[in-house]
Amino acid sequence: MVINTGLHVSQSLHTKTLLNVSTIKGTVKDATGQTLPGVSVSIKGTSIGTQTDANGQFTISAKVGDVLVFTSIGYAKKEVTIVNINALFVELGTDARNLNEVVVTALGVKRSEKSLTYSTQQVAGSELTNVKTDNLVNALSGKVAGVTITPSASGIGGSSKVLLRGNRSLDGNNQPLYVIDGVPISNGGNNFGQPGDAYGGNPEGGDGIGNLNPDDIESMTVLKGGPAAALYGSGAANGVIVIVTKKGKAGKTTINFSSSASFDHKAYEPAFQSRYGQTSAGATTSFGPAISSAPDNLSQFFQTGNNYTNSLSLAGGSDIAQTYFSYTNTTSRGIEPGNKLGRNNFDLHETAKFLNNKLTVDGNVNYITQTLDNSPALGYYSNPLTGLYLFPRGQNIAPYKNFEGPNGTNGVPTENWPFQEDIQQNPWWIINRNTNEATRNRILLNGSVKYEITSWLSVQARGSLDRTNDVGDQKYWAGTLAPLAAPNGNGSWNGFNSTNSQRYADAIVNFNVPLKSKDFKVDGLLGASITDNTGTGLSFGPGPQAPTLFGLFIPNLFTLQNIEVAPAGSNNPYGSNVSGGTTYEDQTQAVFGSANLSFKDWAYLSVTDRVDWSSTLAFTPTYHYSYPSVGLSFILNQMFILPQAITYAKVRGDYASVGNSPGAYQTNPVNYPNANTVTFNSTAPYPTLKPEITKTYEGGADLRFLNDKLSFSFTLYKTNTINQTIGFSPLATSGYGSGNINAANIQNKGIEITVGYNMVQSKQFSWNSQINFSRNINKVLDVASKIGIDSIELTNSSSYVSEVKKGGSYGDIYGQTLLKNSSGQLLLEADGTPQKGDFVKIANPEPRFQLGWNNSFNYQHFSLNFLVDGKFGGQVVSVMQSILDSYGVSKAYGDARAAGGVKVNGVGPDGKAITTVDAETWYTAIGGRNAALGEYVYSATTVRLREMAFGYTLPVNKSVFKSFKLSLTGRNLIYFYRKAPFDPEITSSTGNGLGGVDIFNQPALRSYGLKLDVTL
Amino acid sequence: METIYRSIKHKKSSYYLAALCTIVLGLTSCTKNFQKYNTDPSGIANKDVQIASVFIPFEQEIMYSADDGYQVGQNLNADIYAGYSCPPQFFGTTLNNMNYVFVDNWNQEAFNSIYTNLLGPIKNKLAATGVKTTLPDFWAVALIVQVEAIDRITDKFGPVPYSAIGKSLVTTPYDTQQSIYQQMFAQLDTATSSLNAFITANPGATPFVNSDVVYAGDYTKWLKFANSLRLRLAMHLTKIDLVTAQKQAEIALAAPGGLLSDPSDNAAIAVAGQNDYWQITASYTDNSMNASIGTYMVGLKDPRLPVYFTPVDITQGPLPAQYAGKYVGIRLGTNVHSKPLYSGFSVYNYNTTFLVTSKETVMTAAEVYFLKAEAALRGWTGAGDAQTDYEAGINSSMSQYGVSSGAAAYIADGTSKQTDYVDPQNAADNIAALSTITVKWDPSATNEVKLERIITQKWLAMFPEGQEAWTEFRRTGYPKIFPVVNNQSGGTISTQIQVRRLSYPVSEYSTNGPAVKAGVALLGGPDNGGTRLWWDVNKGNF
């Protein structure tokens, strides 16, 4: 059996022996060896065609020299030239681009790719599982143009910030809406939330999307722009990620087992000096005498992280009913001891047809349990890395593994640590005595009923429930440093138990108007939906009145009854230790409609409109708001005769406006009891509050060349987000301490380009390659100039301010720089201490452009996938480096001192030039918590080998196995380019502040793994 | 869209359309719960607030917001300018209030917090509940609290917003200081008549007992406080409007219900959390004895000295052993460039007097006796005899601090005087005593000397309430407070005349620009620390 591609037709013609029409038989399988039913098989250039049967087999009448074309949704189109009459064996590769032929759009509606007037990009489930990650959205990185993924630095179980086309909202969420099988789900984390400032100290709160099992996902479609998302309304203003989960398939039952093990190491560590020791006995700094070597204290602490994921799925069914069931267990540990993640995912998906296939019922149950222990805190507080990194050079940290000292006056052990600084504690004390735990139980129920009334009209009703229960706590044992725990020294405790539910229901009428004219087609939908979010729960903690935190009464007895309610000697009682009852509800109701008009299959017009009624607008004159979208596209290759090389050409353009409901409780603030009194709320009511609106213009083209081997797509867009809710301080004499106003105009402009090349050379070898490029330019056109506010601070610490300022761009980082005179000389004190200036813009972490290059090679039974991912431009800052410098532990300090001091171009107060400054003087002046952070700005450009998977498929023909594949995988393997002392991609917080700053972040991880996929 | 509707109708599918509309209408008529959803269930609506439950934060706000509000709102302006306090540190900025360069965010706290947390909410929310007519007794107390609060702001800045508070989020016009004083007297009129009516009708009733951290609901004491406050405010006007001063003082002196007359009548607030003086002294270690009060109390052999202050603690700082047990203060404006340099000097006595739980006194019976003494000096009706009032003031203060045994000798001392100041850390700060005043009353002395004696003793008695002490220093020139060592004001504030006011916070210019500029016009001089307030007329006391 010889199969050649069309490229080799001329060679294969030499071997032809028969010209008569014969019956050609064959079997079509996918890359895993599974037979593919329903594949269409046709003879190129004729109308002769057939389909494969349930066993993937086909029969067709053809002659040698004919070219057979195999097409199937979700698989790469394949052409095979017949060279003899022997049975054919054809393997179809999955391909993301070809998935685009049918695109899952808003509300789960499937539409043909060419009828879409906007850009989308789809990723097959297999691409998410080639190399496993513990948060599945991380696997999107580099695979979709215009998507920026920023994982939290907290390692396993951490959340990820996903940005589609830039930041746009000042006070709200900038992350997209996640939709599973047509209905929105919650992406919320638990009450630990995200760090809001440099002190940090909180564990990572996780996110909702990270709970899902990538093995259950059929495909993910990224709807980047407003036009695509307009039908989803509120919440979709930042784009939508549409997830389709796996279903059972009619035909044979398949059982898949997948097992992977991966091992994580830190990808880098700070550069330390080993030349100079502790300044003096008991000192926290390392400005001391020369030493010959220093022990590797980091290796005493870090461990190899790992991730074991085992997944079993069963899929099967008849033409009438199909079932998919899967169970996945994930067991993982971080590189910091004690950090553990355990997760179990159950998924049952049932689809059935009744009443002569007119009624389709679909149901899906997902149950997820997850426990995350000792998620590492980032920032200054409760972070083991501060004490570990700052430990005086030359000293051995090993004795402090014994983290408990003698008993204190309260009869329980003290912390064994030689220093008394809020910024650092014994690392082993933190992981054993500043512990945290979070457990999540989540159920996702999803059901739909669809009835086809006539061939052109169907109705559908859906409902879903996404309920999450989070239980978590954080224990500070007695002996923990006072700023972190209660000053009474008996320890403190905080925690929560909360349940959040999102309920969604919709009813949709789909129509496809039968028209007499064959040139025109009209289809569309009308619908109504309701989304209801509720939250209940309790939290408790060490008393409400900072800075007087009250702790436990009896040391280390972590019970509610043991939390003090008032400090010793206080004037007033302080109320309950149980606080923050989190009862909450909001609701959005909507009606929406869309209509699509097409002419001769080459001109398409789409119109949508939606009206939302939002409970958060209660107490304003109107509770509702509406927003439209309109789009137009032309299929040029069907309008005109184009050069033969161009097989497909589409141009498209859109306008959309997407509304976003404002946050709750702004229109009617109430008053809160506090310490046995009631304090009148000082927030001014805002009775004319309006929703935030994002307006998008988008245009682009999709082109395919050379029989679709080469594809090229680009999109230009501009979005303006206005009417944002801006918090401001009204005049004190207004009697209000805070107020809100609708203002701001944040603009994102950009371009996205995708180029794909799909070379199938032979059965022996194939290569698919795709490049994703995107560039986004963010500009703050206005903050709230009508009330004289031109900037909003997102977060700050003593050396770092993240500010959104008119004329600047979102994420701008402000810090102090060193003062220079007009001839560029640094202004120095007589001892060389530099003078610091005002806070100025020093960095912005957003990349200028991003490039992802995704490749997949197949050679015989071997496969190789790799992804090179680059983020170019942008700057980040390292607060950590500034602190390491000021403690004298950094290589920068050691090298400078060894060189006789820091070489500078400076001038003293007497006007005399200064060329060398003592290293200690210099680094204690520019570094530290009040650093001149302008000296700690680094290029954010990073180019990396993000993913690599090398697989071998065992030849298992005619055994019990349908497929047996073994892969070696790796993530974050090589930094081809990285200038910052940390990975600029990871962030201290996936919230809106703290982007692009390293405040003792856990280092990025490098993982290697082994993966086994077996299909029965 | 219209064509679609039409085509559907055409295909007799109106049934489906009707069904859809039912669903849609069914949903959209359900917005009736939206107000419930969008009201935080963990809070209390304005209409449901029990009036009494909101009142304690208002009383406490008189001494500025919890945490460091008092420190920047009053201690680092009025208390240091009154010669009571001097911080042993420079707060990270070598140019600050201590050398006459105002730190804007300190001024901002002094200006903003009482508006935001006391005057504004009373006007926007408490008054809106109709309490003026439904509970006039309670409203009377609210009026007294407002007068006590606005006086702190206007006597720091001059013209400030008062009548138009709470009317707009973006602009509030300024009132003249004269108008503010008129409003304060009018509000005291209303308050005292309401309280008198209530006390007459309901003798002994204390409906407000659990919601009052000043007098535990004792309206008779609130009445005394209101009358005494009127006397204090009247006396502020001796230079600008002697007629009103005398008229209001005589109303106060003859007022039904009387004046504060015993230390048990003193107006003192149990603040939220910790006593502010304890906090800034013991917790922040930011508050030491000023050289001015130190030299007076040491020189006059004042029995209250060890009650007010701690002696030098050589274990806390660099002072040599010879200073142990002595009382040494810090002179304002000295070059305190790092914290250990002036640590160990005398500080407010947080061990026995300013405890975590101590109340904070805003007006004492002793002050009232000294006000009466000055009224008598001026020959006003009802003031009694100046010497009697003067000595009653000293005795009342000694009794208040439990040192009555030393009172007689103190009153009889006609020779002890303020001492010279010697700074053990920096001889450049040394300065000779400015005052030769003694304690003993001299009937033959001039009115000017008698006034210096009265005001000096009033100043010693009303410690640590620097707000009123600074006002009286500016009005009378007494006591003789040491000038700042380093004046960095660039010539806007005279070292000899000393600072007269605080400048408006920059935030007023950026957010309430036209109004503050009109306010500066009302001030009648540049917006700096050298411009005198309306009642601060540059002329003799008599």
Chain A residues in contact with B123 by the CB 8 A cut-off are: 735
- Residues B143 and B145: their CA atoms lie apart, in Å, by 5
Q: Among B23, B59, B269, which would you mutate to test the A interface (most chain A Cβ atoms within 10 Å of its Cβ)? A: B23
Between A569, A587, A671, which is nearest B356 by CB?
A: A569
Amino acid at B141: V
- Per the CB < 8 Å rule, is B43 touching A530? no
Q: Which two tokens stand for residue B364?
A: 């004492």
For chain B, what percentages of helix, strand and coil (3-state, to nearest 5) are there?
55, 5, 45
Q: Among A586, A725, A734, which would you mutate to test the B interface (most chain B Cβ atoms within 10 Å of its Cβ)? A: A734
Domains annotated for chain A, with CATH where assigned, are: 15-95 (2.60.40.1120), 120-811+846-874+940-1015 (2.40.170.20)
Count, in order, helices (H) and strands (E) of chain B.
23, 4
What is the rounded average pLDDT of the residues B57-69? 87
What is the rounded average pLDDT of the residues A553-570? 77
pLDDT of residue A334: 94
Pick from A694, A689, A688: nearest CA to A722: A694
- Residues A836 and A819: their CA atoms lie apart, in Å, by 6
pLDDT of residue A99: 39
pLDDT at B17 over 50: no
C-beta atoms surrounding A19 within 10 Å? 9
Return the CA Rg of chain B: 28
Upper half-sphere CA count for residue B63 (Cβ side, 13 Å):
30
CA distances to A105, A378, A658 from A231, rounded to whole Å, are 10, 38, 8
C-beta atoms surrounding B166 within 10 Å? 22
pLDDT one-digit tens code per residue, B352-405:
999 998 999 999 999 999 999 999 999 999 999 999 999 999 999 999 999 999
By C-alpha distance, the chain B residue nearest A662 is: B38
By C-alpha distance, the chain B residue nearest A511 is: B8
Pairs of CB atoms within 8 A across A/B: 209
* DSSP letters for A475-502: EEETTS-TTTS-TTSSEEEEEEEEEEEE
- Per the CB < 8 Å rule, is B43 touching A593? no
- Residues A410 and A668: their CA atoms lie apart, in Å, by 48
CA distances to A487, A615, A616, B125 from B36, rounded to whole Å, are 41, 9, 10, 21
pLDDT of residue A130: 81
What is the rounded average pLDDT of the residues B261-284? 93
| DSSP category for residue A791 | E
Chain A residues in contact with B119 by the CB 8 A cut-off are: 733, 735
- Residues B281 and B67: their CA atoms lie apart, in Å, by 13
Question: Distance, in angstroms, between A731 CA and closest chain B CA?
Answer: 6
Q: How much is the mean pLDDT over chain B?
A: 91
Amino acid at A34: Q
Chain A residues in contact with B37 by the CB 8 A cut-off are: 585-587, 615, 618, 664
What is the rounded average pLDDT of the residues A913-940? 94
Pick from A71, A457, A842: nearest CA to B9: A457
- Per the CB < 8 Å rule, is B7 touching A615? no
Contact A881, A936 (CB under 8 A): yes
Question: Distance, in angstroms, between A101 CA and closest chain B CA?
Answer: 27
Q: What ipTM, to 2 d.p.?
A: 0.82
pLDDT one-digit tens code per residue, B298-323:
999 999 999 999 999 998 888 999 99
pLDDT of residue A1007: 93
By C-alpha distance, the chain A residue nearest B24 is: A528
Of B66 and A217, which is predicted with more confidence? A217
Between A511, A679, A731, which is nearest B8 by CB?
A: A511
pLDDT one-digit tens code per residue, A85-133:
777 888 777 654 443 467 777 777 777 777 888 888 888 888 888 887 7
pLDDT one-digit tens code per residue, A594-620:
999 999 888 999 999 999 999 999 999
- Residues B231 and B374: their CA atoms lie apart, in Å, by 11
Helix (H) or strand (E) holding A1009: strand A1005-1015
Non-local CB neighbours of B185 within 8 Å, separated by 6+ positions: B230, B233, B248
Chain B residues in contact with A684 by the CB 8 A cut-off are: 169
- Residues B435 and A643: their CA atoms lie apart, in Å, by 105
- Residues B391 and B442: their CA atoms lie apart, in Å, by 12
Chain B residues in contact with A798 by the CB 8 A cut-off are: none
Chain A residues in contact with B27 by the CB 8 A cut-off are: 528, 530, 589, 591
Question: Distance, in angstroms, between A570 CA and closest chain B CA?
Answer: 6
Q: Which two tokens stand for residue A878?
A: 């390292």
pLDDT band at B1; cut points 50, 70, 90:
very low
Q: Is A363 exposed, middle or buried (0-12, 13-18, 19+ CB in 10 A)?
A: middle
Between A511, A528, A616, which is nearest B23 by CB?
A: A528
Strand partners of residue B98: none
pLDDT at B9 over 60: no
pLDDT of residue A515: 85
Residue B386 φ/ψ, nearest 5 degrees: -60, -50
User: Cα(first)–Cα(last) distance of chain A, in Å?
Assistant: 26
pLDDT at A675 over 70: no
Contact A814, A840 (CB under 8 A): yes
pLDDT at B100 over 70: yes
Pick from A501, A382, A491, A499: nearest CA to A439: A499
By C-alpha distance, the chain A residue nearest B123 is: A735
Q: Among A733, A790, A929, which would you mutate to test the B interface (most chain B Cβ atoms within 10 Å of its Cβ)? A: A733
* A673-682, A743-752, A921-930, B66-75: segment of lowest average pLDDT: A673-682
- Residues A154 and B480: their CA atoms lie apart, in Å, by 62
pLDDT at A573 over 60: no
Contact A160, A990 (CB under 8 A): yes
Cα torsion A127, A128, A133, A135 to 10°: value is 160
pLDDT of residue A788: 81
- Per the CB < 8 Å rule, is B34 touching A587? yes
For A503-529, give one letter per residue: b (16+ CB within 10 A) or e.
Answer: bbbbbbbbbbbeeeeeeebbbbbbbbb
pLDDT of residue A11: 33
Question: Distance, in angstroms, between B504 CA and closest chain A CA?
Answer: 12
pLDDT of residue A591: 92
- Per the CB < 8 Å rule, is A678 touching B54? yes
Residue B167 φ/ψ, nearest 5 degrees: -90, -20
What is the rounded average pLDDT of the residues A363-379? 93
Of A117 and A880, which is predicted with more confidence? A880
Between A524, A526, A615, which is nearest B37 by CB?
A: A615
pLDDT at B429 over 60: yes
pLDDT of residue A492: 86
- Per the CB < 8 Å rule, is A665 touching B273? no
- Per the CB < 8 Å rule, is A680 touching B67? no
pLDDT of residue B73: 95
pLDDT at B20 over 80: no
Q: At what angle do helices B242-253 and B365-377 cross, to 10 degrees?
A: 130
3-class secondary structure for A10-46? HHHHCCCCCCCEEEEEEEEEECCCCECCCCEEEECCC
pLDDT at A9 over 50: no
pLDDT at A959 over 80: no
- Per the CB < 8 Å rule, is A618 touching B38? yes
Out of A239-253, B323-337, B518-532, give the one with best mean pLDDT.
Answer: B518-532
- Per the CB < 8 Å rule, is B23 touching A507? yes
- Per the CB < 8 Å rule, is A680 touching B121? yes
Helix (H) or strand (E) holding A930: none
**What does the angle CA A319 – CA A324 – CA A325 come to, to the nearest 5 degrees?**
150
* A61-70, B193-202, B459-468: segment of lowest average pLDDT: A61-70
Non-local CB neighbours of B499 within 8 Å, separated by 6+ positions: B81, B100, B493, B529, B530
Q: Which two tokens stand for residue A98?
A: 């070809």
What is the rounded average pLDDT of the residues A851-874? 93
Amino acid at A557: L
Q: Among B25, B169, B211, which would you mutate to test the A interface (most chain A Cβ atoms within 10 Å of its Cβ)? A: B169
Chain A residues in contact with B56 by the CB 8 A cut-off are: 677
Non-local CB neighbours of B182 within 8 Å, separated by 6+ positions: none
By C-alpha distance, the chain A residue nearest B153 is: A733
* A258-267, A347-356, B13-22: segment of lowest average pLDDT: B13-22
Chain B residues in contact with A617 by the CB 8 A cut-off are: 34, 38
pLDDT at B6 over 90: no
pLDDT one-digit tens code per residue, A623-644:
899 989 999 999 998 888 888 8
For chain A, what percentages of helix, strand and coil (3-state, to nearest 5) are there?
10, 50, 40
Contact A82, A58 (CB under 8 A): no
* A37-46, A881-890, A947-956: segment of lowest average pLDDT: A37-46
What is the rounded average pLDDT of the residues B280-303? 95
Of A101 and B447, which is predicted with more confidence? B447
Q: Which two tokens stand for residue A424?
A: 């650092």
By C-alpha distance, the chain A residue nearest B506 is: A731
CA distances to A487, A507, A743 from A553, rounded to whole Å, are 12, 56, 48
By C-alpha distance, the chain A residue nearest B7 is: A513
pLDDT of residue B12: 41
pLDDT band at B137; cut points 50, 70, 90:
very high
* A550-559, B217-226, B342-351: segment of lowest average pLDDT: A550-559
Non-local CB neighbours of A21 within 8 Å, separated by 6+ positions: A61, A62, A63
Strand partners of residue B431: B421
CA distances to A359, A726, B175 from B172, rounded to whole Å, are 67, 21, 10
Of B150 and A546, which is predicted with more confidence? B150
Question: Distance, in angstroms, between B475 CA and closest chain A CA?
Answer: 27
pLDDT one-digit tens code per residue, A204-257:
888 889 899 888 898 888 988 777 777 887 778 888 999 988 888 877 788 999
Chain B residues in contact with A737 by the CB 8 A cut-off are: 116-117
Q: How much is the mean pLDDT over chain A?
A: 87
By C-alpha distance, the chain A residue nearest B167 is: A734
Non-local CB neighbours of A833 within 8 Å, separated by 6+ positions: A917, A921, A922, A925
Question: Distance, in angstroms, between A195 CA and closest chain B CA?
Answer: 24
Upper half-sphere CA count for residue A947 (Cβ side, 13 Å):
24
By C-alpha distance, the chain B residue nearest A673 is: B43
| DSSP category for residue B354 | S
Pick from B71, B67, B64, B65: nearest CA to B89: B71
Q: Is A821 exposed, middle or buried (0-12, 13-18, 19+ CB in 10 A)?
A: exposed
